[in-house]
């Protein structure tokens, strides 16, 4: 089917429906008349950049996990993340994604400054043109029409330069060579030299208006820098948060493994006693239910460890799997930090990159207002020109050389040009629009100051809440451990049943999980407070260094040796900020105080066979 000059192509998509085959159709108007085919490439041909797949990731169903453990301090995590931050990543739940910021953004933003400055660079111009003209005329004597032919070449060079006041200076030299020209000459040269200057007086005049594009470009470059700094601050905070999330997950896994181990022991004991008639079957069934629920929670805890480790690997720029398990070795701090509210607020207002960015946007809009106000004026330009003219050549009659020096023939002009739209409606509308944008910028800035104060208050509340909850959950965990000891003593003295121990073990595991969650959240919120106050890079000793080796210089790659950008500039050594243990971070929670029974489980904890529980009617009566 044809439609005008183009073509209508019909695409057929066949899908099986039950035992029959149906077709779906879609039409598309494509291609001008000089194209008669729709062309596309195979996806694999367009996917030029690839990377080899790493080892298969570990899951909760993996039978044999890698035994190699790599102890990783929080300081080392930060250095690793900075070394792999060509593209800045941020934490998103249990994963990490690109923030959209790269190390190249600020360097890219420098180029518009040179573009704005290029308006004031001198411009050299040269031209040449060859011509031949033949003009008809009437020969009165013969009554015929003859043609008078002439040929020649025009040359010219000029140098133009615009200054910061808006004025344009020009100096040029030209020569017009003609042959068979008539008018008394056989050949002649008409050289000339001129100097001119045009100075705007109203629109386009002044240092402020002409420097505004350069100032705006510099402000945008600084804006890009602070956007990059804000993304780096978020990266550091998210690395710390991912680190403590892994510590919390590993601590809970440890507690859940102990819980499953102890509940299995209790179940096996009740089951054995039920077999010999010392306990009834419902008690054993209750123990089995507690044990099975704990095993399900253990699977969830193992999955959480794998997910949290994967999130940490992602944000650090490591592969999903490398045959090692990342084991945090920095213990969480329990120290109470005292804050001075006014100093925190003042520091945030002076240091936060997003606030600085809003101030830069306001400054850039003020520069644009200067431009628009200048363009709203009438155009009044002063013009000055001085020219030297020369003439030389050979005459037709005597074939004599005739020369006229430059100084004998000069001309000049001096005047003004005035141009103005009768209403100035467009330019005044632009000024009004820019004034409204500035008012909007100020309103956004005030709102950000208001919002930041609330954010700081919220973080401070969270810091205190998590610390006090940790202290309470720590006491609950200690009390739960004591309760387990007491219940076991009662069982040995035959004053209680194993069911009380089941509840005590579950309470202990839940208290450990809550304690680890509150303490790691406290440490993460301390980093969040540094992020909200805009000081997280400074407190961690992170500073920016301009890459100096393989950057693309002002001449670009066309005139320089092509080198990879950037050349390696990895983070250097720094004073350690965090304590590092030669053991896993969860050891700091003192979980070894739990009274564990000495036993060797008959099966691997977490994946035992589920025994059959007989019907209560077939069970022997309780003694």
In this structure, are 463 and 527 located in the same domain?
yes
- Fill in the DSSP letter of residue 103: T
Instruction: Tell me the C-alpha distance between 328 and 322, whole Å.
Output: 16
In this structure, are 348 and 390 located in the same domain?
no
Average pLDDT of 424-446? 94
Give the pLDDT confidence score for residue 32 in this predicted structure: 58
Cis peptide bond prior to 566, omega within 30° of 0? yes
Give the pLDDT confidence score for residue 409 in this predicted structure: 82
Residue 219 lies in a domain: yes
Residue 615 lies in a domain: no
Q: How many CB atoms lie within 10 A of CB 423?
A: 8
Indicate the range of 19-23, 99-103, 392-396 predicted with least confidence: 19-23
Give the pLDDT confidence score for residue 20 in this predicted structure: 44
Distances 407 to 402, 467, 594 between C-alpha atoms, Å: 15, 93, 109
330 contacts 581 by C-beta, under 8 angstroms: yes
Give the pLDDT confidence score for residue 617 in this predicted structure: 37
Residue 301 lies in a domain: yes
Segment 554-592, tens digit of pLDDT: 555 555 555 555 555 667 777 788 888 788 888 888 777
Segment 362-390, tens digit of pLDDT: 999 999 999 999 999 999 999 999 999 88
Which pair of tokens denotes residue 415?
């005047």
Sequence-separated (6 or more) residues with CB below 8 Å from residue 571: 79, 82, 83, 542
> What is the maximum span of the chain, computed from C-alpha positions, in angstroms?
154
Helix (H) or strand (E) segment spanning residue 44: helix 43-46
In this structure, are 352 and 483 located in the same domain?
yes
Tell which residue, 278, 286, 337, has the closest CA to residue 522. 337
In this structure, are 258 and 389 located in the same domain?
no
Residue 623 lies in a domain: no
3-state secondary structure 310-334: HHHHHHHCCCCCCCCEEEECCCCCC
Give the pLDDT confidence score for residue 604 in this predicted structure: 35
Domain hosting 336: range is: 101-110+212-360+438-566+582-594
**CA angle at 150 for the pair 146 and 152, rounded to the nearest 5°:** 170
Greatest mean pLDDT among 134-138, 181-185, 204-208: 204-208
Greatest mean pLDDT among 31-40, 50-59, 210-219, 539-548: 210-219
The answer on pLDDT for 519 being more than 90 is yes
pLDDT band at 611 (very low <50, low <70, confident <90, very high): very low
Q: What is the CATH number of the domain that holds 446?
A: 1.20.1600.10
Average pLDDT of 187-194? 86
The answer on pLDDT for 266 being more than 50 is yes
Give the pLDDT confidence score for residue 377 in this predicted structure: 92
pLDDT band at 599 (very low <50, low <70, confident <90, very high): very low
Give the pLDDT confidence score for residue 65 in this predicted structure: 58
DSSP helix/strand/coil, 530: helix
The answer on pLDDT for 612 being more than 50 is no
Residue 614 lies in a domain: no
Average pLDDT of 121-143? 84
The answer on pLDDT for 621 being more than 70 is no
Report the share of the chain in percent with pLDDT over 90: 46
Residue 415 lies in a domain: yes
In this structure, are 232 and 339 located in the same domain?
yes
The answer on pLDDT for 346 being more than 70 is yes
Residue 61 lies in a domain: no
130 contacts 153 by C-beta, under 8 angstroms: yes
Tell which residue, 491, 501, 487, 489, has the closest CA to residue 286. 501
Residue 374 lies in a domain: no
Mean pLDDT of the chain: 82
Give the pLDDT confidence score for residue 184 in this predicted structure: 60
603 contacts 611 by C-beta, under 8 angstroms: no
Question: Dihedral sign, CA of 518, 523, 527, 530?
Answer: positive
Average pLDDT of 430-454? 96
In this structure, are 239 and 130 located in the same domain?
no
In this structure, are 542 and 468 located in the same domain?
yes
Give the pLDDT confidence score for residue 291 in this predicted structure: 87
In this structure, are 324 and 269 located in the same domain?
yes
DSSP helix/strand/coil, 115: helix
Structural domain tally of the chain?
A: 3
Beta strands in 140-237 (DSSP E): 144-162, 168-182, 185-189, 192-200
In this structure, are 473 and 535 located in the same domain?
yes
567 contacts 490 by C-beta, under 8 angstroms: no
Sequence-separated (6 or more) residues with CB below 8 Å from residue 6: 29, 30, 31, 32, 33
* 3-state DSSP percent of the chain in helix, strand and coil, to 5: 45, 25, 30
Give the pLDDT confidence score for residue 17 in this predicted structure: 47
Instruction: Tell me the C-alpha distance between 572 and 583, whole Å.
Output: 25
In this structure, are 323 and 296 located in the same domain?
yes
Give the pLDDT confidence score for residue 378 in this predicted structure: 92
In this structure, are 186 and 234 located in the same domain?
no
In this structure, are 467 and 505 located in the same domain?
yes
């Amino acid at each position: 089917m044809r439609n005008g000059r183009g073509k209508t192509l019909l695409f057929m998509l066949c899908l099986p429906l039950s035992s029959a085959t149906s077709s779906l159709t879609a039409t598309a108007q494509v291609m001008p008349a000089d194209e008669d085919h729709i062309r596309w490439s195979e996806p694999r041909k367009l996917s030029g950049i690839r990377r080899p797949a790493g080892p298969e990731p570990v899951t909760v169903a993996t039978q044999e996990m890698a035994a190699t453990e790599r102890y990783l301090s929080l300081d080392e995590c930060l250095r690793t993340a900075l070394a792999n931050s060509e593209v800045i990543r941020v934490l998103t739940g249990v994963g990490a994604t690109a923030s959209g910021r790269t190390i190249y953004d600020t360097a890219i933003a420098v180029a518009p400054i040179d573009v704005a400055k290029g308006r004031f660079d001198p411009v050299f111009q040269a031209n040449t043109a060859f011509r031949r003209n033949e003009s008809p005329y009437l020969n009165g004597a013969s009554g015929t029409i003859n043609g008078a032919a002439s040929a020649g070449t025009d040359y010219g060079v000029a140098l133009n330069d615009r200054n910061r006041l808006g004025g344009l200076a020009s100096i040029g030299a030209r020569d017009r060579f003609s042959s068979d020209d008539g008018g008394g000459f056989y050949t002649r040269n008409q050289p000339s030299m001129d100097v001119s200057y045009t100075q705007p007086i109203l629109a386009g005049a002044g240092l402020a208006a002409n420097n505004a594009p350069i100032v705006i470009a510099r402000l945008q470059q600084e804006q890009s820098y602070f956007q990059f700094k804000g993304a780096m601050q978020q990266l550091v905070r998210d690395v710390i948060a991912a680190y403590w999330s892994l510590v919390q997950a590993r601590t809970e896994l440890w507690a859940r493994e102990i819980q499953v181990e102890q509940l299995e022991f209790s179940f096996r004991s009740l089951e054995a006693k039920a077999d010999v008639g010392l306990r009834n079957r419902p008690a054993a069934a209750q123990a089995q239910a507690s044990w099975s629920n704990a095993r399900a929670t253990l699977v969830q805890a193992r999955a959480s460890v794998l997910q949290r480790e994967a999130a940490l690997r992602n944000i650090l720029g490591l592969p999903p799997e490398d045959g090692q398990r990342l084991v945090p070795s920095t213990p969480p701090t329990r120290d109470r930090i005292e804050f001075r509210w006014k100093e925190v607020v003042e520091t945030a207002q002076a240091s936060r990159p997003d606030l600085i960015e809003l101030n830069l946007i306001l400054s850039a809009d003020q520069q644009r207002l200067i431009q628009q106000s200048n363009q709203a004026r009438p155009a009044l330009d002063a013009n000055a020109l001085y020219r030297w003219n020369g003439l030389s050549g050979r005459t037709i009659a005597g074939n004599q050389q005739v020369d006229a020096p430059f100084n004998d023939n000069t001309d000049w002009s001096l005047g003004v040009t005035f141009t103005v739209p009768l209403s100035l409606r467009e330019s005044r509308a632009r000024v009004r629009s820019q004034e409204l944008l500035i008012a909007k910028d100020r309103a956004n800035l005030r709102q950000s100051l208001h919002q930041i104060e609330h954010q700081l208050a919220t973080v401070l509340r969270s810091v205190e809440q998590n610390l006090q909850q940790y202290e309470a959950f720590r006491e609950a965990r200690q009390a739960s451990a004591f309760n387990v000891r007491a219940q076991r003593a009662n069982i040995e003295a035959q004053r209680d049943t194993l069911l009380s121990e089941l509840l005590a073990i579950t309470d202990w595991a839940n208290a450990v999980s809550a304690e680890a969650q509150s303490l790691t959240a406290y440490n993460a919120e301390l980093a969040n407070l540094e992020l909200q106050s805009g000081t997280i890079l400074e407190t961690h000793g992170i500073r920016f260094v301009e890459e100096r080796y393989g950057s693309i210089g002002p001449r670009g790659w066309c005139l320089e040796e092509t080198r990879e950008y950037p050349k390696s500039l990895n983070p250097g050594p720094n004073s350690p900020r965090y304590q590092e243990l030669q053991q896993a971070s969860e050891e700091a929670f003192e979980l070894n105080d739990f009274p564990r029974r000495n036993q060797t489980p008959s099966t691997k904890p977490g994946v035992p066979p589920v025994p059959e529980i007989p019907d209560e009617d077939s069970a022997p009566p309780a003694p």
